[in-house]
C-alpha cells in the first residue's frame, strides 16, 4: 500500500499543487489513533522532521493533517512510515470527511458506549445495597456474590469499552511520552486491579473495598463526552460537510448522435453538454443552454432564496437545481470551479488552531506529568495509614485531573461558531481570527464593490414641461440599449421593453448617442440625442446632491435629464446601523472622488469618510488608526485593498470571485450580504464569551477538585463523575454557538 502511493499517478490523485511554491504540493492525511492534544503535537513532530516536508498542521478534533511536501525530496511512503514509527496510522484523504476508517471508528465508539452504559446500570444496581445498608445488614456471602457479579459485568467494560484508552496509553508510554489517556488508563487499571484483588482476597492488605461502580460510571461518562464532542463536530460543521459532499457522483451527458448517457462526473471535460434534472446538483461551472429553473445557491453564497436561472445564465458547481430541467455547457471542472476554491478554503480553515488552543497543546504534556507525579505522591503519603485508602486517593487524583475540559474549551467553541457562520454564507478562513474579531472597535469599508453594486441606479428624471417621465425614459431607452456605456445600460435596464425603434444610430466618444427614433408604427419619428449636457443643449447646470447626469434632447432642444448614482447594496444602511448599535466606529475609504464618497457616506449614515485614497493611502490610514490604539476590521472587495486587508487586525473580503483569490482575508462573505458583517462581529463576541466561560469552568473545577482528591475527600466515583460532567458541560456550552441568535 505504502509503496503504491509513491507512484505519481497515485499521489497526484490525492494532492494538489501548492500555490506560490513551484514544484511543491499539499495534501490531507486522515490520522488513525489520535485522541488528545498531545497526539496532535506528536504527529506534527513526526512529520516535520522528514526532509521535503514543510508546514505541517494537525487538527486533533478532525484527526487530520495538512502537509506541504516536495515530490523531488520525499514520497508518501516516508510519511506513513514515520507515523507508524510514532504509533499512528494514516491514509490519504481527498477531503476531510470521506475517510472510511474514521466513519468505522465512530460506529465502534458507539458500541463501546452502549456496552459501558448497560454494564454501568447493572453494576450500580449491585452497588446500591452497599451504600444504603447498615452494618451487618448484608451477610458476607451476599456481599461476595454482589462483588463477583460486579466483577463479571465490569470485564466487558475494561476489555472492550476501555480499549481506546489503554491502546493509546500503551502507545504513548512505548514512545516515552505522556498523553491525555495515560492518567485515564492508569486510573481505570488501578481501580479495576485493586477491586479484583479485594474481590479475590477480601482479607488481604487492600481490604474488601471495590470500585467497580466508579470504573463503569467513569468509562461511560468519558465515552459520552467523546460521543457528544463527535456529534458537536458533525453538527457545527453542518454546512461545511454538506458543501464538501455536495457534488454528485454521476450526471447525464449528451451523446454525439443525440440522447444522453449517465457518466461519472470525473469524466466530464470543458465543452460537454450535460442535463441536470430537478433535484440534482450541478457538477461543474457552466452556462445554461436550454430550460428555466429555480436554483438554490445557499451553501455557496449564503443567499437563502432560490434564484432564477435560464438560457445564457451562469450556474456554479454545488448549487441545487430545484424545479425545471436545465441543459448546461460545462466551462470549468474540478479544481477550476468556484466550488473547489471554497472547499479548499474550508479545508485550510479547519486545520487552523486558535492561539488559546495552541497554548493548551503546549501545556498539556507538562500538566499530565504533574498529574501522574501528584497521584504517586498522594498514594505514598496515605499508604502507611491505609493502603486501600491510598489506592482510592491515587485513582481519584488520576481521574479528576484529566484535562479533557481544558483541551476542549477553545476548539469546541470556535468550530461551533464557524459552522454557524458558514450556514449564513460567511467562510471563516482562520479560526484564530474569531478571537481577534471579538475585540474590534473600528470597521473600515471600501466603497466600490463593497457598499455599492456594479450597476448604477436611476434616482430621478426631470423633464421639460409637457413631457411625461415615463415617455422620456422610453425614448432614451431606445438609444441606450445600443450602447455599452454604464449609464446607457442603467437607462436601458430602467426603461425595460420599449415600443420605440432607433435607426441610423451614431455614438460619439465622450459626447453621447444620436439616432432617429420611430414610434407608433413609424408614423412619428424624431432626431434624438442622449449624452452629456453640452451635447444635448441642456440648460445651465442646477445644484444637485446626486451623481452622474445624462441628458436627452430632440430637434427642439433639451428634453429630459436622468440623474444617477451608484447602486447601494440592499442591506447597506441596515448593516451600518447594526454596527453602530454594537458601539463600533464605522468609516469609509475609497479611491473614488471625495464628493462621491461623501455623498454615499451621507446616504448610509457614515460620518467619517475619505475619498481619493490610493491603496497606499488606505494602508496608511489603517496603520495610523492602529497606532492610536484602534482594533481595525477592513472590509473590501479584494481588488485594490490587498495592503490594507493584510495590515488590518481582521480582514473581510466581499463578493463572488475576486475575494476567493484574496489570500489575505480572514473571512470571506460568499454572497456579498453586508448584513453578515454585524452578524460576524456579534458571533465573535459570543465565541469569546463562551471560551472564557469554558476556561473559567475548567480552571475552577481543577482548583476545587484536585486538593479534595489529594486529601482523600473525593471518592473515585465522584472524581469520575466530576471529570466527565466537566467535559460534557464544556461541550454543551460550546454547542450554543452552533445556533445564531433569533434576531439575526
Q: Distance between CA atoms of 741 and 30, rounded to whole angstroms?
A: 34
pLDDT for residue 360 is more than 70:
no
* Residue 637: active-site member: no
The pLDDT-based confidence of 201 (bands split at 50, 70, 90) is confident
Instruction: Give the tens place of pLDDT for each residue, 638-657.
Output: 545 667 777 888 888 876 53
Residue 49 neighbours by CB distance under 10 Å? 10
Q: How many residues can be counted in the chain?
A: 744
What pLDDT does residue 522 have? 59
Instruction: Give the tens place of pLDDT for each residue, 588-621.
Output: 988 777 877 888 888 888 889 888 777 778 888 8
The residue-averaged pLDDT of 191-212 equals: 80
State which of 30-39, 175-184, 390-399, 574-583 shows the largest mean pLDDT: 574-583
Instruction: Give the tens place of pLDDT for each residue, 47-62.
Output: 888 888 887 877 665 6
pLDDT for residue 707 is more than 80:
yes
What pLDDT does residue 552 have? 92
| CATH architecture assigned to 4-94 | 2-Layer Sandwich (3.30)
Instruction: Give the tens place of pLDDT for each residue, 509-551.
Output: 667 889 988 876 656 788 899 988 888 877 755 444 446 688 9
Pairing of strands 608-610, 307-309: unpaired
The residue-averaged pLDDT of 300-320 equals: 75
Catalytic residue among 285, 352, 446, 565: 446
Say if residues 342 and 660 touch (Cβ distance below 8 Å): yes
pLDDT for residue 269 is more than 80:
yes
What pLDDT does residue 21 have? 77
Q: Distance between CA atoms of 527 and 505, rounded to whole angstroms?
A: 10
- Residues 6 or more apart whose CB falls under 8 angstroms from that of 533 comprise 541, 549, 551
The residue-averaged pLDDT of 681-689 equals: 91
The pLDDT-based confidence of 744 (bands split at 50, 70, 90) is very low
The residue-averaged pLDDT of 161-170 equals: 86
- Give the neighbor-by-neighbor strand order of the sheet with 314-315: 260-264, 250-254, 273-276, 326-332, 285-290, 314-315
pLDDT for residue 555 is more than 90:
no
Buried b (16+ CB within 10 A) or exposed e, 342-351: bbbbbbebbb
Cell of residue 358, nine digits? 495552541
What pLDDT does residue 620 have? 86
Instruction: Give the tens place of pLDDT for each residue, 381-417.
Output: 878 777 777 887 888 887 777 666 666 677 778 877 8
Number of helices (H), then strands (E), in the chain = 23, 27
List C-alpha distances in Å: 306 to 300, 386, 494, 690, 713.
Answer: 12, 72, 24, 34, 62
pLDDT for residue 213 is more than 60:
yes
User: DSSP letter string over 541-555?
Assistant: PPP-SS--EEEEEET
For the chain, which residues make up each domain, given as ranges?
Answer: 4-94, 103-238+349-414+690-738, 247-280+284-332, 425-452+569-678, 453-568
Query: pTM higher than 0.75, yes or no?
Result: no
> Scanning the structure block, which residue is given the C-alpha cell 479560526?
431
pLDDT for residue 119 is more than 90:
yes
Instruction: Give the tens place of pLDDT for each residue, 557-592.
Output: 888 999 877 777 888 889 999 999 999 999 998 877
The residue ranking higher by pLDDT, 116 or 542, is 116
Pairing of strands 632-636, 650-654: parallel
What pLDDT does residue 235 have? 52
What pLDDT does residue 661 have? 36
pLDDT for residue 98 is more than 50:
no
Q: What is the rounded average pLDDT for all residues in the chain?
A: 78
| CATH architecture assigned to 247-280+284-332 | Distorted Sandwich (2.70)
Q: What is the 3-state secondary structure (H, E, C) of 127-172?
A: HHHHHHCCCCCCCHHHHHHHHHHHHHHHHHHHHHHCHHHHHHHHHH
Of 3.40.50.2300, 3.40.50.12780, 3.40.1110.10, 3.40.50.720, the CATH number of 453-568 is 3.40.1110.10
Q: Distance between CA atoms of 16 and 582, rounded to whole angstroms?
A: 42
Per cent of the chain over pLDDT 70 is: 80
* Positive/negative CA dihedral, 674, 632, 662, 608: positive
| CATH architecture assigned to 425-452+569-678 | 3-Layer(aba) Sandwich (3.40)
Range from 272-286, 326-340, 407-421, 526-540 carrying the lowest mean pLDDT = 407-421
The residue-averaged pLDDT of 196-212 equals: 78
pLDDT for residue 436 is more than 60:
yes
pLDDT for residue 443 is more than 90:
yes
Amino acid at each position: 500500500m505504502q509503496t503504491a502511493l509513491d507512484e505519481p499517478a497515485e499521489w497526484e490523485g490525492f494532492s494538489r499543487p501548492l500555490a506560490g511554491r513551484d514544484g511543491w504540493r499539499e495534501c490531507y492525511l486522515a490520522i488513525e489513533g489520535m485522541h488528545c492534544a498531545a497526539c496532535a503535537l506528536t504527529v506534527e513532530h513526526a512529520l516535520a522532521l522528514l526532509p521535503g516536508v514543510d508546514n505541517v498542521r494537525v487538527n486533533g478534533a478532525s484527526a487530520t493533517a495538512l502537509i506541504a511536501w516536495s515530490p523531488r525530496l520525499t514520497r508518501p511512503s516516508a510519511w506513513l512510515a514515520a507515523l507508524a514509527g510514532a504509533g499512528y496510522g494514516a491514509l490519504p484523504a481527498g477531503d476531510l470527511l470521506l475517510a472510511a476508517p474514521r466513519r468505522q471508528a465512530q460506529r465502534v465508539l458507539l458500541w463501546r458506549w452502549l456496552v459501558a452504559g448497560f454494564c454501568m446500570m447493572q453494576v450500580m444496581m449491585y452497588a446500591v445495597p452497599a451504600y444504603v445498608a447498615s452494618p451487618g445488614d448484608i451477610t458476607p456471602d451476599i456481599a461476595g456474590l454482589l462483588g463477583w457479579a460486579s466483577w463479571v459485568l465490569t470485564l466487558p467494560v475494561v476489555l472492550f469499552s476501555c480499549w481506546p484508552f489503554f491502546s493509546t496509553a500503551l502507545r504513548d508510554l512505548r514512545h516515552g511520552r505522556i498523553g491525555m489517556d495515560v492518567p485515564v488508563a492508569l486510573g481505570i487499571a488501578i481501580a479495576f486491579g485493586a477491586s479484583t484483588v479485594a474481590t479475590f482476597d477480601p482479607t488481604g492488605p487492600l481490604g474488601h473495598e471495590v470500585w467497580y461502580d466508579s470504573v463503569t460510571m467513569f468509562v461511560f461518562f468519558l465515552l459520552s463526552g467523546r460521543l457528544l464532542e463527535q456529534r458537536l463536530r458533525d453538527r457545527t460543521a453542518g454546512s461545511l460537510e454538506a458543501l464538501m459532499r455536495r457534488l454528485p457522483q454521476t450526471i447525464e451527458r449528451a451523446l454525439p448522435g443525440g440522447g444522453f448517457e449517465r457518466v461519472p462526473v470525473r469524466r466530464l471535460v470543458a465543452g460537454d453538454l450535460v442535463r441536470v434534472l430537478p433535484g440534482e446538483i450541478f457538477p461543474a461551472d457552466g452556462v445554461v443552454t436550454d430550460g428555466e429553473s429555480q436554483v438554490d445557491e445557499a451553501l455557496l453564497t449564503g443567499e437563502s432564496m432560490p434564484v432564477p436561472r435560464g438560457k445564457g445564465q451562469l450556474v456554479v458547481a454545488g448549487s441545487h437545481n430545484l424545479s425545471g430541467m436545465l441543459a448546461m455547457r460545462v466551462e470549468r471542472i474540478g479544481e477550476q470551479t468556484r466550488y473547489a476554491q471554497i472547499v479548499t478554503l474550508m479545508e485550510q480553515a479547519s486545520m487552523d488552531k486558535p492561539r488559546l488552543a495552541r497554548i493548551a497543546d503546549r501545556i498539556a504534556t507538562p500538566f499530565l506529568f504533574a498529574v501522574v507525579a501528584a497521584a504517586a505522591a498522594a498514594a505514598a503519603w496515605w499508604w502507611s495509614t491505609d493502603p486501600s485508602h491510598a489506592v482510592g486517593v491515587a485513582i481519584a487524583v488520576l481521574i479528576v485531573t484529566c484535562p479533557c475540559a481544558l483541551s476542549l474549551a477553545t476548539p469546541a467553541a470556535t468550530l461551533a461558531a464557524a459552522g454557524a457562520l458558514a450556514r449564513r454564507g460567511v467562510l471563516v478562513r482562520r479560526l484564530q481570527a474569531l478571537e481577534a474579531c471579538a475585540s474590534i472597535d473600528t470597521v473600515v469599508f471600501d466603497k466600490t464593490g463593497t457598499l455599492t453594486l456594479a450597476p448604477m441606479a436611476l434616482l430621478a428624471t426631470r423633464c421639460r414641461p409637457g413631457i411625461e417621465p415615463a415617455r422620456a425614459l422610453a425614448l432614451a431607452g431606445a438609444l441606450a440599449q445600443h450602447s455599452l456605456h454604464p449609464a446607457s445600460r442603467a437607462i436601458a435596464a430602467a426603461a425595460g421593453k420599449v415600443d420605440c425603434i432607433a435607426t441610423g444610430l451614431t455614438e460619439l466618444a465622450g459626447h453621447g448617442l444620436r439616432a432617429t427614433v420611430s414610434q407608433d408604427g413609424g408614423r412619428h419619428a424624431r432626431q434624438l440625442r442622449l449624452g452629456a449636457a453640452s451635447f444635448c443643449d441642456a440648460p445651465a447646470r442646477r445644484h444637485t446632491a446626486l451623481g452622474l447626469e445624462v441628458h436627452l434632447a430632440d430637434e427642439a432642444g433639451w428634453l429630459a435629464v436622468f440623474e444617477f448614482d451608484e447602486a447601494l447594496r440592499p442591506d447597506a444602511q441596515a448593516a451600518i446601523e447594526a454596527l453602530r448599535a454594537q458601539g463600533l466606529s464605522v468609516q469609509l475609504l475609497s479611491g473614488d472622488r471625495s464628493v462621491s464618497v461623501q455623498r454615499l457616506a451621507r446616504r448610509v449614515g457614515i460620518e467619517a469618510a475619505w475619498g481619493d485614497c490610493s491603496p497606499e493611502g488606505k494602508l496608511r490610514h489603517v496603520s495610523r488608526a492602529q497606532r492610536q490604539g484602534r482594533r481595525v476590521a477592513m472590509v473590501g472587495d479584494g481588488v485594490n485593498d490587498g495592503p490594507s486587508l493584510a495590515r488590518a487586525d481582521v480582514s473581510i473580503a466581499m463578493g463572488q470571485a475576486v475575494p476567493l483569490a484574496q489570500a489575505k482575508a480572514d473571512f470571506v462573505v460568499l454572497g456579498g450580504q453586508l448584513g453578515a458583517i454585524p452578524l460576524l462581529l456579534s458571533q465573535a463576541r459570543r465565541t469569546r464569551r463562551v471560551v472564557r466561560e469554558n476556561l473559567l469552568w475548567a480552571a475552577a473545577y481543577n482548583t476545587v477538585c484536585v486538593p479534595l482528591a489529594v486529601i482523600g475527600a473525593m471518592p473515585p466515583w465522584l472524581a469520575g463523575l466530576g471529570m466527565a460532567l466537566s467535559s460534557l458541560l464544556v461541550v454543551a456550552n460550546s454547542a450554543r454557538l452552533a445556533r445564531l441568535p433569533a434576531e439575526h
